[in-house]
Every structure is written in C-alpha cells, then in structure tokens.
Amino acid sequence: MYHERFNKVQPKLLIMKICSVCLQSDILCSGCSRKLDDGKITRTDIELSRAIHKISKEKKFDVDFIQSEEDSGKVFVVVESNHASRFIGPGGRNIKKLSQLLGKQVKLLEKAEGSEKHVIEKMIGAPILGVNKVYPQEIYSVRVEKRYARTVQPLADVISKILDRNVRFVFE
Ligand SMILES: [Zn+2]
C-alpha cells in the first residue's frame, strides 16, 4: 500500500479557464487562442466554462473546475470537494443543465486531498481494497470489489489522464 501524496497533481486552478470576454462570445481572443494552441486548455474546457457562465447568468452558480476530460462521449469534470454539491445542484439540477448545454453527459469527479487511495476512492465513488504499484511500467493497480466493476471500469482511462499515472482497476 502506498501513501505517497499526489503532490505532482497540482490543480491548475482556472477561475475560469478563459477570459471574461471569451466567456461571453463564440470566438477566442489572441490570449485565449494561445492557451488553446499551447495545450494549457482544451476545447472541452472552453465549452464547459461557457456553459457554466451561461448558467451563472440565470441564477447563482458559483462553481469552478480544475480539469475536464472527454472520454467515450462523456465529459468528466474534476471539481474541488467543496464545490461538488453546488456543481451538482439540488436534485442534480445544475449538472443536468450543463449536460443539456454541452449536449453530452457530464460526470463529476471529486478532487480530494490525501493518499492515492483516498484520492482515487473519491473520484470513482467506490471503496478501494488496495493500491499496488507494478514495476517497471509504474502501473497503479487499484483493487476494487467486483460489484463496482460496471461503474468503475469505464473510468480507467479518464482517471489515468487526470492523475497523469497509468491506473488499472482489478476487481476481486
Ligand atoms: Zn480571451
């Protein structure tokens, strides 16, 4: 079991990822275009930022996100723990609205602080039995109870991308 902290995964906190002018327009200014070209932000980040902004104009929707990844037609959004409930909204209202605006299903991944086990547990929303680091490829083999396989297995790629680690799930 490893208890190394995910110090390398520093949240690239945005507030927001694009400037206030670009939030309200359909085109990007030269500064924001450069961020996109340099790979500091993605198209998904831009779409998501604009959708959040749109909702916040209609009602109070004071949220921010750390990272977004598109995978298998879904948008996974990494949000600080203290923003998670606001992001989802009462009865899932906010996250549903975001999904509508983006035309894709939005899934929230909560970013916790602490050990790898804790961080991954929060993201997958299922208890972890253990984490083994497999060398030489440095694969993080994460052991999860079999009954969570259906919901957790599809997250392997997106969790790997977010943590910048090679994460595999093993169900037992
Ligand atoms: Zn801009």
- My answer on whether 89 and 157 are in the same domain is no
- My answer on whether 161 and 83 are in the same domain is no
- My answer on whether 83 and 127 are in the same domain is no
Domain of 135 in residue numbering reads as 123-171
> What total of structural domains would you count in the chain?
2
Whole-number percent of the chain with pLDDT over 90: 61
- Centre of ligand 1 from the C-alpha of residue 100, in Å: 24
- My answer on whether 107 and 132 are in the same domain is no
CA distance 56 to 97: 11
Residue 9 has pLDDT above 80, yes or no: no
Radius of gyration of the chain from Cα atoms?
Answer: 17
The stretch 70-91 carries a mean pLDDT of 90
CATH number at residue 84: 3.30.300.20
- Centre of ligand 1 from the C-alpha of residue 55, in Å: 19
Question: What is the model's pLDDT at position 13?
Answer: 47
Q: Quick check: is 51 in a domain?
A: yes
Between 60 and 122, the more confident residue is 122
pLDDT tens, residue by residue, 138-151: 899 999 999 999 99
What end-to-end distance do the CA atoms of the chain give, in Å? Answer: 17
- Centre of ligand 1 from the C-alpha of residue 17, in Å: 9
- Centre of ligand 1 from the C-alpha of residue 65, in Å: 18
Whole-model pTM? 0.80
- Centre of ligand 1 from the C-alpha of residue 29, in Å: 4
